[in-house]
Amino acid sequence: MQICNAVDSSFDLAPVAGIVATHTPFSEGDIIGALQDIQERYGYLAQPVVDELARLSGLPVAKFYGVATFYSQFHLKPHGKHTIRVCRGTACHVRGSPKIMDSVVRHLGIEDGGTTPDMQFSLETVACLGTCFLSPVMLVDSKYFGNLTPDQAVKVLESMGSKSASNGTAPEEEMPACQA
């Protein structure tokens, strides 16, 4: 991994210094928090940004990538505008989350971890959202959609402007309960 000469002009690296400043004095214990701040600001961990973070913090860049590749929260590639998180917790599993996942995968035409080509939607699974009473549940950005059927899951995505990757259309059905 290169540290200094990988600067990409398309990234505004100025905010990195501000993020490092909030973790001063910067020690190894601040790596996860700083990467979370970077991802919050830039949407994902772009290489030039992480390299700049490492340079300003004075820690080896390998430490940052070691952490970034271990934890599932971090993305090294650009993320879609909306993040769909389908819960794969136990309660959701026994109440049909595999079917919800299938219908979302088919509808968006992407797999777990993928992003639609128009950069609108990224699809993830999450171990448990801790909202088992809503099972099966999916989190779209910060909105929970609970007690879902596969058709309702597709309806939710369509209401957000998703284009179906398959030709099948879902029958008319009421939108499920949702709230931010």
Partner 1 sequence: MPGLTPEIQKLRDLRLAEQQQQPLRAVRICTTGCRALGALEVHAAFERELAAAGLTRKVALIKTGCQGICAGAPVISIDPDGILYLGAKPADVPEIVRTTLCGGGIVERLCFQGRQGPIPKRSEIPFFAVQKPIVLARCGRIDPTSIAAAMAAGSYEMLERVLTEMEPEAVIAEIATSGLRGRGGAGFPTGRKWSATRAAPGDLKYLVCNADEGDPGAFMDRAVVEGDPHAVLEGLLIAAYAIGARHGYVYVRAEYPIAIEHLKLAIAQAREHGLLGENILGTGMAFDVKIKAGAGAFVCGEETALLASIEGKRGMPRPRPPFPAQSGLWGKPTCINNVETLANIAEILRMGGAAYSGLGTPTSKGTKIFALAGKVKYTGLVEVPIGVTMNQLVNDIGGGVPAGSAFKAAQMGGPSGGCVPARYLDMPIDYETVKEVGAIMGSGGLIILDEETCMVDLARYFMEFCAKESCGKCPPCRIGTTRMLEILNRICAGQGVPEDIARLEELGSQVKKNALCGLGQTAPNPVLTTIRHFRSEYEAHVNQRRCPAVVCRNLISFTILPDKCICCGRCAKGCPAHCISGKAGKAPARATAPDREKGKVGEPFAIQPALCIKCGACFDVCPAKAVVKQ
Name the residues that contact partner 1, by CB under 8 A. Answer: 27-33, 35-36, 63, 66-67, 70-74, 88-95, 99, 102-103, 106, 126-135, 137, 142, 144, 146, 149-151, 166-171, 177-180
> Six-digit token pair at 127?
């171990």
Least Å distance, CB 75 to partner 1, is: 11
Judged by beta carbon, residue 67 or residue 160, the one nearer partner 1 is 67
- Residue recorded with tokens 């998180």: 85
30 φ, ψ (degrees, to nearest 5): -95, -5
Judged by beta carbon, residue 8 or residue 166, the one nearer partner 1 is 166
Rounded to 5°, the CA angle 13-14-17 comes to 100
Judged by beta carbon, residue 30 or residue 51, the one nearer partner 1 is 30
Strand 138-140 relative to strand 82-87, pairing: antiparallel
Least Å distance, CB 117 to partner 1, is: 20
> Six-digit token pair at 107?
């509808």
